């Protein structure tokens, strides 16, 4: 941990050392120390402490006064009774800073009061101020120093440990610098840490205090390149609390960023095993799509053996999280897994091309022009992709899936075509004339199909795989037909040349 410079008097000696040389009593030393802080002001603090005190004075001059007094008392914490005063200063300073920021009505990412033990409820306000989950290491550090102050602020026998109280205040001073000091003051120090390839435990402790502000946290983790930080940062708990979805009272939701995860994705190609182990600790019930997008990005950068381990986690994510941000990214994951010969590519593909279980009111909506043409929107069928993304899936992911296992690819596409037709017929039977050609939505299977219809996009893709596979040899043609004959209920299989 970075040691904070102690306040110095104009001669360069600490006020405590000067008073001891003069032969003063402890009682006089405390009085002189207090007077000295209030009289000399922030000029006698170190550079970092001066920057912190100046920002605290903008919040409330009383907070700046408490902060200066705390540093002066920290020098004399070993004198009888001074630890009580220092703890009391630290407690009131912490309460005041939290109150100043909580007045901005901040929310804790994914926090609920019933998740927190009764004796740790102030974690909620600390998490809100830092905009961090309650289990994050920085929240825990702030909570621990606050608890040290609270437990040492009242007289008892034996008295509190002066070293513990002093250490807590200096750690708290580090945290305050990271939270309230001017942006560029902390920015400069972060740049120094970003240049370190193999950090020590002290480096990690020092940088943690700088990362209690969301902007600085984002800057550090989105610029960190060295894989040597992974182990120390993981040991310090920086990856243990990916943020969950924040749901507003009106039902709207926000997906907080996870800059720590962006670093993991960036080094996944260099440290695939360790990154996979770290990502596997993400709760499968987490609903934040931003986090799952990062897991997909990391999976795409890993060798197949590690990426496959994350597939079950992603399957659960598709069931629990809104499929924005991360569903489209999974198209390239399907392609990459298939190109590496991994059957898990089909499992991800099945998650992506997932249909709504029943027609919705949206399914029956038409505009006048499309009604006259006998067309309507089939995008309602898709729960996790939009129409453009489905088209991209068929263009990018189906070819490598076909190379991996053509018959399984045919089975996958035929199942989706069959399901899409059946669901859309539930709408068509009520709203389209019986005489209307039931294959109007796919007049051609040679690539000229309707690119704005889910059934057509899938049918054209299926027909291409069927044709290429069946033309290999008679045995392949028989195997293709064995798959397709299970889906002859619909005309697209029986009447559009797919048999041949």
The pLDDT tens digits of the residues spanning 241-263 come to 898 988 888 888 889 899 999 99
Greater confidence (209 vs 313) lies with 313
- Give me the domain span that covers residue 374: 361-494
Q: Provide the token pair at 187.
A: 């920015």
d(CA 170, CA 177): 11
Residue 348 within a domain? no
Point out the least confidently predicted range of 73-82, 129-138, 140-149, 335-344: 129-138
In angstroms, the Cα distances linking 482 to 200, 289, 407, 446, 467 are 63, 39, 10, 22, 14
Q: Which residue has the higher pLDDT, 402 or 123?
A: 402
% of residues, the chain, pLDDT over 90: 50
Give the per-residue pLDDT at 236: 85
Helices 82-102, 162-180: axis angle to 10 degrees equals: 20
Separation of alpha carbons 87 and 98, rounded Å:
16
Domain C-terminal end among 130, 164, 181: 181
Read off the pLDDT of residues 203-239 as tens digits, 9 standing for 90 and up: 988 888 888 888 889 999 999 999 999 999 998 888 9
CA distance 20 to 387: 79
DSSP reduced 3-state for 405 = coil
CA pseudo-torsion sign 425, 429, 434, 436 = negative
- Of 60-69, 104-113, 384-393, 443-452, least confident by mean pLDDT is 104-113
Q: Which H or E run contains 247?
A: strand 246-247
Which residue would you say has higher pLDDT here, 119 or 273?
A: 273
Q: Nearest to residue 149, comparing CAs of 71, 62, 89?
A: 89
Q: What is the pLDDT of residue 134?
A: 80
Q: Is residue 135 part of a domain?
A: yes
Instruction: Give the DSSP H/E element, type plus range, for residue 254.
Output: strand 253-254
Residue 134 burial (10 A CB sphere; 0-12, 13-18, 19+): buried
Assigned domain for 409 exists: yes
Q: What is the DSSP string of 317-362?
A: HHHHS--TTTTTHHHHHHHHHHHTT-THHHHHHHHHS-B-SS--GG
The single-letter DSSP state of residue 228 is G
Region 22-43: mean pLDDT is: 43
Out of 28-42, 282-296, 332-346, which region has the weakest mean confidence (pLDDT)?
A: 28-42
Under the banding of pLDDT at 50, 70 and 90, the label for residue 442 is: low
Using alpha carbons, select from 341, 347, 340, 335 the residue that is nearest to residue 310. 347
How far apart, in whole angstroms, are the C-alpha atoms of residue 338 and residue 307? Answer: 12
Question: 475 or 2, which is more confident?
Answer: 475
**Beta-bridge mates of residue 247:** 253
Residue 238: closest CA among 258, 254, 268, 255: 258
Q: Which residues touch 370 (CB under 8 Å, ≥6 apart)? A: 376, 377
Bigger pLDDT: 278 vs 35? 278
**Cα–Cα distance, 106 to 139 (Å, whole number):** 15
What is the average pLDDT score of the chain?
81
% of the chain exceeding 70 in pLDDT: 77
Q: What confidence score (pLDDT) does residue 391 get?
A: 93
Give the angle subtended at the CA of 339 by the CAs of 335 and 341, to the nearest 5°. Answer: 120
| Structural domain includes residue 382 | yes
Predicted confidence (pLDDT) at residue 198 exceeds the cutoff of 50: yes
Task: Using the 3D structure, point to which of 181, 214, 245 is the last residue of a domain.
Answer: 181
| Mean pLDDT (whole number) for 171-194 | 88
Query: 3-class SS at 246?
Result: strand
Q: How confident is the model at residue 101 (pLDDT cuts 50, 70, 90)?
A: confident
Backbone dihedral angles phi then psi of residue 232, each to the nearest 5 degrees: -60, -40
The band of 43, judged by pLDDT with boundaries at 50, 70 and 90, is very low
Residue 228 lies in a domain: no
How many structural domains is the chain composed of?
2
Mean pLDDT of 176-204: 89
With 80 as the cut, is the pLDDT of residue 384 above it? yes
Q: What is residue 341's predicted lDDT score, i.e. its pLDDT?
A: 96
**Domain contains 352:** no
CA distance 124 to 299: 33
pLDDT at 440: 61
Q: Would you state the pLDDT for residue 247?
A: 86
Pairing of strands 253-254, 246-247: antiparallel
Distance CA 172, CA 167 (A): 8
Does residue 119 belong to any structural domain of this protein?
yes
384 vs 255: CA distance, rounded Å: 17
56 found inside a domain = yes
**pLDDT-derived band at 187, boundaries 50, 70, 90:** confident
Residue 444 pLDDT: 67
Confidence of residue 61 (pLDDT cuts 50, 70, 90): very high
Q: How far apart are CA 29 and CA 18, in angstroms?
A: 10
- Residues 6+ away with beta carbon under 8 Å from 13: 21
Q: Is residue 247 a contact partner of residue 109, using CB atoms and an 8 Å limit?
A: no
Instruction: Give residue 318's pLDDT band: very low, low, confident or very high (50, 70, 90).
Output: very high
Domain boundary among 181, 215, 248: 181
């Amino acid at each position: 941990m970075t040691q904070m410079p102690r306040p110095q008097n104009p001669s360069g000696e600490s006020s405590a050392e000067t008073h001891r040389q003069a032969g003063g009593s402890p009682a006089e030393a405390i009085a002189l120390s207090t007077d000295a802080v209030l009289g000399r002001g922030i000029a006698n603090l170190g550079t970092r402490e001066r920057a912190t005190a100046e920002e605290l004075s903008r919040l409330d001059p009383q907070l700046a006064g408490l902060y200066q007094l705390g540093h002066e008392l920290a020098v004399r914490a070993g004198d009888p009774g001074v630890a009580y005063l220092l703890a009391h200063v630290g407690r009131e300073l912490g309460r005041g800073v939290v109150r100043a920021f909580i007045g901005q009505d901040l929310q804790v990412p994914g926090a609920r009061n019933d998740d927190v033990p009764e004796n740790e409820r102030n974690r909620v306000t600390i998490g809100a101020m830092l905009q961090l989950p309650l289990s994050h290491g920085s929240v825990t550090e702030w909570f621990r120093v606050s608890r040290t102050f609270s437990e040492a602020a009242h007289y008892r026998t034996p008295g509190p440990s002066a070293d513990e109280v002093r250490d807590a205040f200096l750690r708290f001073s580090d945290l305050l610098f990271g939270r309230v000091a001017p942006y560029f003051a902390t920015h400069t120090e972060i740049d120094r840490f970003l240049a370190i390839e193999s950090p020590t435990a002290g480096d990690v402790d020092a940088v943690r205090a700088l990362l209690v502000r969301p902007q600085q946290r984002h800057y550090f983790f989105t610029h960190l390149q060295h894989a040597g930080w992974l182990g120390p940062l993981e040991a310090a708990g920086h990856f243990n609390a990916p943020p969950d979805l924040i749901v507003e009272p009106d039902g709207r939701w926000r997906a907080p960023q996870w800059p720590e995860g962006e670093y993991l994705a960036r080094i996944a190609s260099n440290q695939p095993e360790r990154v996979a182990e770290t990502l596997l600790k993400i709760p499968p019930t987490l609903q934040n799509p931003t986090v799952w997008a990062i897991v997909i990005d990391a999976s795409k950068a890993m060798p197949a053996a590690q990426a496959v381990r994350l597939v079950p986690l992603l399957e659960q994510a598709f069931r629990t999280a809104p499929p924005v941000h991360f569903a489209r990214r999974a198209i390239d994951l399907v392609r990459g897994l298939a190109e590496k010969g991994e059957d898990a590519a089909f499992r991800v593909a099945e998650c992506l091309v997932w249909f709504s279980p029943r027609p919705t009111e949206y399914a029956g909506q038409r505009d006048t022009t499309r009604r006259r043409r006998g067309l309507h929107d089939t995008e309602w069928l898709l729960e996790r992709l939009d129409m453009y993304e489905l088209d991209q899936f068929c263009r990018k992911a189906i070819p490598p899936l076909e190379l991996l296992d053509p018959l399984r690819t045919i089975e996958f596409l035929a199942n989706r075509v069959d399901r899409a037709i059946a669901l859309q017929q539930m709408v068509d039977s009520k709203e389209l004339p019986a005489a209307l050609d039931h294959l109007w939505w796919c007049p051609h299977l040679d690539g000229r199909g309707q690119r704005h219809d889910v059934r057509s996009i899938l049918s054209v893709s299926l027909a291409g795989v069927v044709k290429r596979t069946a033309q290999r040899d008679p045995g392949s043609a028989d195997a293709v037909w064995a798959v397709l004959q299970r889906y002859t209920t619909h005309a697209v299989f029986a009447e559009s040349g797919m048999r041949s």
